[in-house]
Amino acid sequence: MGRHREFDVEKVLDAAICVFWRKGYEGASYADLTEAAGVERPALYSAFGNKEALFRKALVRYYERYVDYVPAALQLPTAREVAAHLLQGAIDLTTRYPDHTGCLGIQGVLAGSDEAEPVRQALIEARAEAEAQLRQRFERAKAEGDLPETARPDTLAAFLMAVLHGMAVQAKAGFSRDTLEAVAEQALSTWPTDAREGSLRPKPQP
């Protein structure tokens, strides 16, 4: 009973992702969102709630569609492969689309009026959860003998997250893909290697 919805909810979410990605949570206005989605304002409100709810749903879909390399990376056999795959995935994600570079998740953490506070907190928590998963993965690697006994999983996770975030900022500032790959290679050159396995890329300078 009743009229049917005439637009595709997931397509609208994809359009919202692009807008938030390019302009951030605060920078994206409803005028931008409706124009990109081809849907009028009240339709967005009835389908998703207010702006914050729309952003959260877009963020969930963003993680599923664009940041799927993270769970994939965590299942790789060695800690070094996990790190390498994460770095490469981040480079792809932040440079693939010229009109919205960087990372949607990072955009919201920084920009900072008061009304964005709950969104910022949500992004901080998501980031902390990702780092926790990474740390646990490195602890497992240590237990498996994949990382040396002297390795500190928490430091490695924090360091890797710092490089990933820094590359996202640099991508937003217009860094080329080649430069970011050099950065990732330099970061990987610090990776602690167990005595049993040889380093894949022993020196950053060939």
Partner DNA sequence: GGGCTTTAATAACGGTCATTATGAAAAAGG
Partner DNA sequence: CCTTTTTCATAATGACCGTTATTAAAGCCC
When CB distances are held under 5 to 8 angstroms depending on the partner's kind, the choice from DNA, a second copy, none that residue 41 binds is DNA
How many residues form the binding site for a second copy (CB under 8 A)?
A: 56
Name the nearest CA neighbour of 80 among 160, 183, 181.
160
196 binds a second copy (CB under 8 A): no
Choose, by CB under 7 A, the member of 11, 41, 65, 201 that binds DNA. 41
39 binds DNA (CB under 7 A): yes
Interface with a second copy (CB under 8 A), residue from 17, 106, 119, 141: 106
CB atoms within 10 A of CB 13: 20
From the CB of 194, what's the least distance to DNA, in Å?
Answer: 51
3-state helix/strand/coil string of 53-105: HHHHHHHHHHHHHHCCHHHHHHCCCCHHHHHHHHHHHHHHHHHCCCCCCCCHH
Contact 72, 81 (CB under 8 A): no
Site for DNA in 49-68 (CB under 7 A): 50-52
Does 29 participate in binding DNA (rule CB under 7 A)? Answer: yes
Residue 28 in the binding site for DNA (CB under 7 A): yes
* 2 phi-psi bin (left φ>0, alpha ψ -120 to 50, beta other): left
Q: How far is CA 133 from the centre of its chain?
A: 14
Range 118-177, binding a second copy (CB under 8 A): 124, 127-128, 148, 150-152, 154-156, 158-159, 161-170, 172-175
Q: What distance in Å separates the CA atoms of residue 176 and residue 174, rounded to the nearest whole number?
A: 6
Question: How many CB atoms lie under 10 A from the CB of residue 2?
Answer: 4
Only segment of 45-53, 81-89, 126-134, 141-149 that touches DNA (CB under 7 A):
45-53
- List interacting residues with a second copy (CB under 8 A): 22-24, 26-27, 29, 102, 106-107, 109-114, 116, 124, 127-128, 148, 150-152, 154-156, 158-159, 161-170, 172-175, 179-180, 182-183, 185-187, 189-190, 192, 203-206
